[in-house]
């Protein structure tokens, strides 16, 4: 049986990858649309992030600009909200939605939101697992059904499972951050009516990429298990 073209790859991985391509195309399209629609309040992503943090009693959390396209994130180790240039200095609906989303993560951290803590704790293992799992499994697959080959495949599956668990926990973390963001933007009067719908569309499209990421990870895991059982 070929490692590179098998029934698991054809029936699970390929459909999941097509879904991921759709999700990427969707976020690019939605972001491009609402990056051109400016908010009436004239506030930039940096302004909104700073204001929301201050209102949450988190004036100690800085808002910094970071390089890279849509590289926005909250760093829990440094306790810093980092926004990409197109979000930091922009007052588009997309920029404000993304900025508020990252503040949502900062508030999660400050509140001790359990799924975020679990995700941060398993990140090192999941990162190693996502990089080492497939090579280990492939080496074991080459060795065939002997003890050493089977052991390597089992280790590869176990490591990849860690990556899948990380992806699974990521979903509620991201959904909750977006929910907090929309609540903050609406209740604070930063966006209203159709503006809120635009920002929400961007965050929903971004959330779809995380769903697709989990689908791809699950598809690969199922494929590895099928190959292991048939070896």
At 184, list the tokens. 């903050």
Helix 194-230 and helix 93-111: axis angle, to 10°? 60
State residue 89's pLDDT score: 97
Q: Supply the pTM of this predicted model.
A: 0.92
- Whether 205 shows a pLDDT value over 60: the answer reads yes
- Looking at residue 200, what is its pLDDT? 98
Task: Return all residues near 64 (Cβ < 8 A) that are at least 6 apart.
Answer: 80, 81, 82, 83
Q: Which helix (H) or strand (E) holds 74?
A: strand 73-75
At 143-188, the pLDDT tens digits run 877 889 999 999 999 999 999 999 999 999 999 999 999 999 999 9
Determine the straight-line distance between the first and last CA of the chain, rounded to whole angstroms. Answer: 9
Of 72, 68, 97, 92, residue with least CA distance to 205:
97
Tell me the sheet residues that pair with 82.
Answer: 64, 73
**Residues 111-126, buried b or exposed e (16+ Cβ, 10 A)?**
eebebbeebeebeeeb
HSE, CB side, 13 Å, CA atoms: give it for residue 96: 33
Other beta carbons within 10 Å of 25: 11
Q: Any bridge partners for residue 38, and if so which?
A: 92
Distance in angstroms (rounded) separating the CA atoms of residues 151 and 137: 9
Of the candidates 106, 128, 87, the one whose C-alpha atom is nearest the C-alpha of residue 180 is 106
pLDDT recorded at residue 129: 87
pLDDT digits (tens, 9 = 90+) for 84-130: 999 999 999 999 999 999 999 999 999 999 999 999 999 999 999 88
Position 4 scores a pLDDT of 62
Q: What is the pLDDT at residue 7?
A: 86
Mean of all residue pLDDT scores within the chain: 95
Residue 16 has pLDDT above 70, yes or no: yes
| DSSP state letter for 38 | B
Cβ atoms within 10 Å, residue 218: 16
Give tens-digit pLDDT for 23-60: 999 999 999 999 999 999 999 999 999 999 999 999 99
Catalytic site residue from 86, 102, 174, 195? 102
CA atoms within 13 A on the CB side of 67: 0
**C-alpha to C-alpha distance for 70 and 102, rounded to whole angstroms:** 12
The gap from C-alpha 146 to its chain's centroid, in whole angstroms, comes to: 38
Q: Give the separation between CA 98 and CA 211, rounded to whole angstroms.
A: 18
Q: Give the separation between CA 81 and CA 199, rounded to whole angstroms.
A: 19
| pLDDT of res. 100 | 98
Would you call 64 a catalytic residue per the annotation?
no
């Amino acid at each position: 049986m070929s490692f590179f073209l098998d029934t698991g790859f054809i029936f699970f991985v390929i459909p999941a990858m097509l879904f991921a391509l759709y999700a990427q195309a969707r976020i690019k399209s939605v972001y491009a649309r609402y990056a051109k629609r400016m908010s009436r309040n004239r506030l930039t992503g940096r302004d909104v992030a700073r204001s929301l943090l201050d209102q949450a009693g988190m004036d100690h959390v800085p808002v910094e600009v970071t390089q890279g396209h849509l590289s926005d994130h909250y760093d829990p180790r440094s306790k810093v909200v980092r926004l990409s240039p197109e979000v930091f200095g922009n007052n588009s609906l997309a920029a404000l939605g993304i900025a508020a989303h990252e503040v949502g993560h900062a508030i999660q951290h400050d509140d001790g939101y359990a799924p975020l803590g679990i995700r941060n704790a398993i990140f090192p293992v999941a990162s190693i697992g996502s990089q080492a799992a497939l090579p280990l499994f492939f080496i074991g697959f080459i060795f065939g059904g002997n003890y050493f080959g089977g052991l390597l495949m089992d280790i590869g599956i176990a490591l990849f499972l860690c990556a899948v668990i990380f992806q699974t926990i990521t979903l509620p973390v991201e959904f909750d951050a977006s929910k907090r963001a929309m609540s903050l933007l609406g209740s604070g009067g930063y966006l209203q009516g159709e503006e809120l719908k635009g920002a929400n569309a961007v965050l929903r499209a971004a959330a779809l990429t995380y769903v697709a990421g989990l689908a791809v990870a699950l598809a690969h895991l199922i494929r590895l298990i099928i190959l292991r059982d048939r070896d």
